[in-house]
Amino acid sequence: MTKLASLDDLLVHELQDIYHAENQILKALPKLAKAATHPDLKRAFEDHRRETEGQVRRLEQVFKLLGHPVKGKKCEGMAGLIEEGKKLLAADAEPEVLDAALIAAAQKVEHYEIASYGCVCTYAEMLGYDEAHELLGQNLDEEETTDERLTALAESVINIEAEEGSGEGEDSSR
Ligand SMILES: [Fe+2]
């Protein structure tokens, strides 16, 4: 059973959760990149995979700074989000619609991570772990930037789709 007697315990518990989550994401991102059609979306997933490798290294540094073994604890939340993503990959979907769906799935993942990093950043700051706080803050910034990038892509992809949809047949009638 997880023992949560102090904020320190909670920090370690949350770090183990996000460490496991990041490792699950590392495995899932290449599949998302492969399934994506839009080249910008493919690139976003590939870039984020590389970024995630760095995030995992930062988390390992944080464990060391806190004097804890580098260890994950199964993150059921992320497992569920990834499971839902896998179902999308198996769906009979139009490529543009699948791209939009992949963005939605990825943004759910990003929001989970933003929540986690937001919490561990706050705990590290409260406990005076300045170096750990700095490293976790870098991960948080990257997740937020990725989320914004996905929003921008979603809007452009959705706009293109809408344009194609409403434009159909119009050219031939003119
Ligand atoms: Fe991440």
The pLDDT tens digits for 101-114 are 999 999 999 999 99
User: So what's the pLDDT on residue 174?
Assistant: 40
User: So what's the pLDDT on residue 168?
Assistant: 45
Q: How far is CA 153 from the centre of its chain?
A: 15
Distance 120 CA to ligand 1 centre (A): 13
Token pair in block for residue 120 = 């561990």
User: So what's the pLDDT on residue 159?
Assistant: 58
Distance 164 CA to ligand 1 centre (A): 34
Distance 91 CA to ligand 1 centre (A): 25
Question: What is this structure's pTM?
Answer: 0.89
Distance 173 CA to ligand 1 centre (A): 49
Distance 46 CA to ligand 1 centre (A): 13
* Each residue's pLDDT tens digit, 22-41: 999 999 999 999 999 999 99
SS3 37: coil
CA distance 44 to 59: 22
Q: Nearest-CA neighbor of 126 among 23, 40, 11?
A: 11
Residue ranges for the chain with pLDDT beneath 50: 162, 166-174
- Those residues whose beta carbon sits under 5 angstroms from the ion ligand 1 are 52, 55, 113
CA distances from 28 to 3, 13, 46, 97 (A): 30, 23, 11, 19
Going through the chain in order, the beta strands assigned E by DSSP cover none
